[in-house]
Amino acid sequence: MLRLRCAVALARLTRSISRLFGRGGTALPGLVALRIDPGAIEKLVAGLREGVVVVTGTNGKTTTAKMIREMFTASGRRVLANRTGSNLARGLAAELAGAWRRGRIAADLAVFEIDEAAVRHLGPRLRPRVIVVTNLARDQLDRYGELVTTAGHVAAAVAASGTAVLSADDPMVAKLAADHNGPVAWFGAVPEIRAAMPDDRALHGVTASTPVGRIDALLTGVVAAGDGAAITVVVDGREVSVTLQVPGVYNGYNAAAALLAVARLGLDPVAAGSALATMAPAFGRGQVVDYRGRRVKVVLVKNPSGLNQAIRLLCDDPVARRVLIAINDSIADGRDVSWLWDASVESLAQTPHSFGAGGVRAADMALRFKYAGVEAWSEADGRIALDRLVDAAAPGDTVYLVPTYTAMLGFLELLLPGRSRDEVWS
Amino acid sequence: MTAPLVLAHLYPRRMNIYGDIGNLLALRRRLEWRNLPVRVVAIDEGDRFEFEEADIVVAGGGEDASQLAIAADLVERGPAIHRAVAAGVAFLTVCGTYQLFGRRFVTADGAEIPGIGVFGAETRGGGTRMIGNVVVSTPWGDLVGFENHSGRTRLDPTQQSLGKVRRGKGNDGESGEEGAITGNCLGTYLHGSVLPKNPALADDLIRRALVRRTGAPAALTPLDDTIEREAAAAAAERP
């Protein structure tokens, strides 16, 4: 205990000092805590009365974790969360140490978003009461390696968890149930909605899905409403209807997963679900930013299935919009841009929208547009591309910005100058 | 020419991991833009197909498990593919299928996957992955693509390569060679996808197919390849 107290105290001191010097980073205090007490994470989470929820999967982690967090916060719990991008051990240690007050951790539970590579090692250390696996699709093969490897990482975390909240509609996720001894809770959608959810299961040769009997949280309706979506989910036989501020069928799935997770942790899903109506989108997850009098809707894409979801969103918008798809190839985006060829860009030819290609690899996106039969302009410079996107739109109009991760960071500085990343993401 | 050119996509379900579908799309569009009729056929494991009826066959890469899953089917098709290659059918094999068009692939843990030996080449798995953008000097000019493989492919002294690596690793990271070519059958580690960014190579496959069809030299209507060149130039500058 003394060792833990020292670890926490020094982590907090490190944080204060680094803030004094204008650094907002979470890595260093966490590193200090773990250096002094390598077991700090395990000891700190043991003090959480209602335990840990882990959200992992290829797409939808940030939004799903945020939904779970908001529902618990609305129910009066003190919820600890990790910020996007700080899902390594040191990031979690820093968040946990930061919640330390008078000799104990001042939070009831933690909701951590953890990526598919890190979850293998962090899952067993966190011993989550609930683990949510949103979906598993191929993602940045140059970074994460093969999908079966990723599925193995996630399986290790599921084995160390209590209840596994799994997608019945994603065969790679459904297969995880076979290796889990604890309870499994299933979320999914009615066939009409499932058919509208783009996936790339055919691309990894999975055809037969694991037979799942009962769906504990069934998405039965998704209708576009304003910038968001009106959804209906039947959780344990009870209907939850709510209008989300985040758009698309994929966020209907995220909401079904989140509602099921909170239900398994003892919240009443009908009461808890109302908190979703006021949940603002996380940055880049359908968030609308005012820029020079136009509404810029930012939809982050990281992989072919994510791009397919964005394409689906654009296909569902009947109003002619201007759209910029901006592709970078930094390490965080994946160096390899060949995934652009796996997304069904062809579908965009049927929409009334007009398109531009941006980012460091604007030329690759322009090429993808060309072979998809979609006319598009191309501009690698972020500021010029953004101006070109909004200039042709009338004041008050909505335009779409669809960037990869580091492209999004670049646009963030143009859209919200002077705002730090942490501020925007909190 | 009235009958459409037949583009066959071998193992689209399992061997299509790095945007390999883009190669099929590039050939198809470049035929359509020239008003040349085209028909696309998908061949998965167990599907009956006579390769000599195809004009161009494309095949891509897959995860290890996928490669294992198609290996037996490929070996069964081996004699038919050899006949088609001898008959001048154009092939483009990328990454995982390129490896299996060699004699064999020995994985890092010593397991052997037999190939069909169209190329005088053998591949050994293991070691660090070779990942990054690649530039290769070839008879088609500089080819630009992205490689991501741990297999090291050694060509026999008599086996011709596609070209010399100017940037990146290529077949084995040592020999300086990239890819292989036997008749009209090409193998390469380049994806990206390779054909959209390298229209000279795409058009040469089309030309080879037309020559085989008509028995006469084929002249292709030139296309505006500005965007293709820009994309290749951008990729060549990236790590």
The Cα–Cα gap between B20 and B24 comes to 7
Look at B235 and A205 and tell me if their CB atoms are within 8 Å: no
A-chain residue closest to B148, CA distance: A142
- Residue of B65, B193, B238 lying closest to A329 (CB–CB): B238
Helix intervals (H) in B87-222: 96-100, 194-197, 199-214
Q: pLDDT band for A142, please (50, 70, 90 cuts).
A: low
Segment A42-74, tens digit of pLDDT: 988 999 999 999 999 999 999 999 999 999 999
Per-domain residue ranges for chain B?
5-236
DSSP B169: -
- How high is the pLDDT of residue A426? 44
Residue A300 dihedral angles phi and psi, to the nearest 5°: -65, 135
Please determine, looking at this structure, whether the domain spanning A285-425 carries the CATH number 3.90.190.20: yes
**Interchain CB distance below 8 Å, A378 and B197:** no
Question: How much is the average pLDDT of B159-182?
Answer: 97
Count of CB pairs separated by less than 8 Å, A with B: 99
* Per-residue DSSP letter, A409: H
Contact between A336 and B228 using a beta-carbon 8 Å cutoff: no
A337 at B interface, C-beta within 8 A:
yes
Does the distance separating the beta carbons of B191 and A146 come in below 8 Å? Answer: no
A387-404: per-residue pLDDT in tens?
A: 999 998 999 999 999 999
Tell me which of B9, B149, B185, B191 is the catalytic residue. Answer: B191
Q: Does A360 touch chain B (CB under 8 A)?
A: yes
- How far from B171 is each of A48, A141, A270, B91, B179, CA to CA, in Å? 53, 19, 59, 18, 6
Cα gap A255→A132, rounded to integer Å: 12
Could B227 and A339 be called an inter-chain contact, meaning their C-beta atoms sit closer than 8 Å?
no
* pLDDT beyond 60 at B32: yes
Question: What's residue B55's pLDDT?
Answer: 97
Burial of A180-201, coded b for 16+ CB within 10 Å and e otherwise, reads beeebbbbbbeeebbebbbbbb
Q: For B65-117, how does the pLDDT look when each residue is reduced to its tens digit (9 = 90+)?
A: 888 899 999 999 999 999 999 999 999 999 999 999 999 999 888 889 999 99
Judge whether residue A206 has pLDDT over 70. no
pLDDT the model gives residue A86: 63
Give DSSP secondary structure letters for A334-360: -S--GGGGGS-GGGGGGSS-EEEEEST
- To the query of whether residue B95 is one of the catalytic residues in this protein, the response is yes
pLDDT digits (tens, 9 = 90+) for A307-339: 998 999 999 899 999 999 999 999 989 999 999
Shared fold status for A2-278 and A285-425: no
Class for domain B5-236, per CATH?
alpha beta
What mean pLDDT, rounded, does chain A reach? 89
Tokens of B205: 């496959």
Q: What is the pLDDT of residue A35?
A: 85
- Domains of chain A, residue spans: 2-278, 285-425
Residue of B19, B65, B66 with shortest CB distance to A339 = B19
- Predicted pLDDT of residue A301: 95
> Is it the case that residue A153 has pLDDT exceeding 50?
yes
Structure confidence at residue A87 (pLDDT): 64
Model ipTM value: 0.97
Q: Which of B9, B82, B95, B149 is catalytic?
A: B95
What mean pLDDT comes out for the span B22-50?
Answer: 95
Backbone angles phi, psi at A402, to 5 degrees: -120, 90
A2-278 in CATH: which number? Answer: 3.40.1190.10
User: How much is the average pLDDT of A403-414?
Assistant: 94
Chain A residue numbers with beta carbons less than 8 Å from the beta carbon of B227 are 363, 366-367, 370, 378
Closest to A372 (Cα-Cα) out of B60, B8, B25:
B25
Which residues of chain A from 362 to 401 reach within 8 Å of chain B, CB to CB?
A: 362-364, 366-368, 370-371, 373, 378, 380
Contact assignment for B69 to A205 by CB distance below 8 Å: yes
How far is it, in rounded angstroms, from Cα A168 to Cα A166?
6
Q: Name the residue facing A371 among B29, B66, B132 (closest C-beta).
A: B29
Would you say residue A208 has pLDDT above 80? no
Query: What average pLDDT does range A281-300 have in this prediction?
Result: 92
